[in-house]
């Protein structure tokens, strides 16, 4: 996603910002958990088959491991936030196709409790869901939610 200095935002970045503005309005209007679930499932349905499979499994794992997190979209991506008005996004799934990247990522924001000394990872590339990858996701979700 490299671009020349001063070139401004890419079309994908502009689209994500527009989606975020719509999401913020929905939150102010009192979006419910059911609304967020519907939005997340809608975004997952739009993905390519490979990314859809990853996103569906992550969605299921978040529901199992961290049911207190509320599904919602964030910059047009499936995300999971702390409960309550203005709840901060803890984690999100960024499909590679969204920004023309070669891989999808599972990312964690500062609301996640992943701190590990002076430096730690907050974004993880995912090419497919294997048993090992699933176990790592579960461990990250547990740690992110303070379990």
pLDDT of 124: 97
pLDDT, tens digit (0-9, with 9 covering 90-100), for 37-59: 999 999 999 999 999 999 999 99
Are the CB atoms for 59 and 22 separated by under 8 Å? no
In the chain, where are the structural domains located?
Answer: 11-144
Nearest in space to 60 (alpha carbons), one of 47, 75, 74, 71: 71
pLDDT of 70: 94
The residue length of the chain stands at 147
Residues 62, 63, 65, 69, Cα dihedral to 10°: 70
pLDDT of 83: 85
Instruction: Read off the pLDDT of each residue in 100-129 and give the average, rounded to a whole number.
Output: 95
CA 144 to centroid of chain Cα atoms:
13
- Tell me which fold the domain 11-144 belongs to: 3.90.1150
pLDDT of 7: 74
Residue pointed to by tokens 């997190």: 69
Of 55 and 30, the structure prediction assigns the larger pLDDT to: 55
pLDDT band at 143 (very low <50, low <70, confident <90, very high): very high
Buried b (16+ CB within 10 A) or exposed e, 60-76: ebbeebbeebbbbbbbb
């Amino acid at each position: 996603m490299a671009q020349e200095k001063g070139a401004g935002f890419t079309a994908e970045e502009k689209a994500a910002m527009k989606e975020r503005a719509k999401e913020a309005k929905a939150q102010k209007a009192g979006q419910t958990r059911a609304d967020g679930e519907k939005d997340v499932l809608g975004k997952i349905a739009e993905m390519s088959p490979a990314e859809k499979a990853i996103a569906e499994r992550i969605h299921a794992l978040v529901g199992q491991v961290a049911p207190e997190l509320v599904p919602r979209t964030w910059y047009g991506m499936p995300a999971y936030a702390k409960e309550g008005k203005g709840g901060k996004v803890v984690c999100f799934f960024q499909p590679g196709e969204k920004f023309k990247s070669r891989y999808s990522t599972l990312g964690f924001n500062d609301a996640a409790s992943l701190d590990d000394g002076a430096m730690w990872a907050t974004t993880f590339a995912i090419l497919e869901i294997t048993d090992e990858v699933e176990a790592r996701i579960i461990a990250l979700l547990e740690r992110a939610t303070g379990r």
